[in-house]
Amino acid sequence: MLAEAFVGKKNKLQPLVFLSPVFYPNKLGLQGEKTAVGNVVAHGPGITFIKTYPGSSWLKDTLLALAGSKIKKIVFLGTCGAINPDYLIGEVVTPDENAFDLPRISCFSFDSLLDETKSRLKQLWRQKYDVVDLELTAFLQAAKAAGIVSQVLLLIQDQPLTKPFYRPLKAADKQALDMGIQRLFQLCRQICQTSRVNTLTRLKTR
């Protein structure tokens, strides 16, 4: 079955799913296995973690492959670039109304990194977008189509107008990014708690 090539056996999927094109299951102390198409899937008590390839179409297909399973909620863990100078590398933000008192942002999703020209980024900033990414729009559309409750956490990894990701980070920014990753997975653990996953002592943030 094609869906299993993306997400593995559906009867193994847990009620809470973390989906990321960036981070791996070991961030929650889980050991993953590759599916037929190369996604990495890991299961723990009450949770499943899926690492996909980057890009909107791949993430969308992976999420749609979850339709019809027993999962109740899916959390997208992504990265983004801040074009609003008020947001800094290492901050965790969300487009959602959320329980974590995180900055609430507006995000524009590009189809290609090559579309991230300075003129286009400046135009988006004038249009009141705060951050840009590649996958968020596809994630939200697919979650709605699959009828799955969704939540979004985004880590700011660069400021594309001044500190693009393809240039080396200064030590202070690298430290801020590392701290942001720790913060992101602290929030994941809180989501597990609020979702009543009662085995958190087995999950170590690395």
Residue 196's pLDDT is what? 60
* Average pLDDT of the residues in 110-137: 96
How many H helices and E strands in the chain? 5, 9
Per the prediction, the chain carries an average pLDDT of 92
Percent of the chain with pLDDT over 70: 95
Write the class of the CATH domain 2-198: alpha beta
User: What kind and span of H or E run contains 125?
Assistant: helix 118-126
The whole-angstrom separation of Cα 149 and Cα 151 is 7
The ranges assigned to domains in the chain are: 2-198
- pLDDT number for residue 203: 46
pTM reported for the whole predicted model = 0.91
SS3 content of the chain, % helix, strand, coil (to 5): 35, 25, 40
CA nearest neighbour of 59 among 114, 4, 6, 10:
6
Q: Is the pLDDT of residue 201 over 50?
A: no
pLDDT at 1 over 90: no
pLDDT for 68 equals: 84
**Residue 205 confidence (pLDDT) above 90:** no
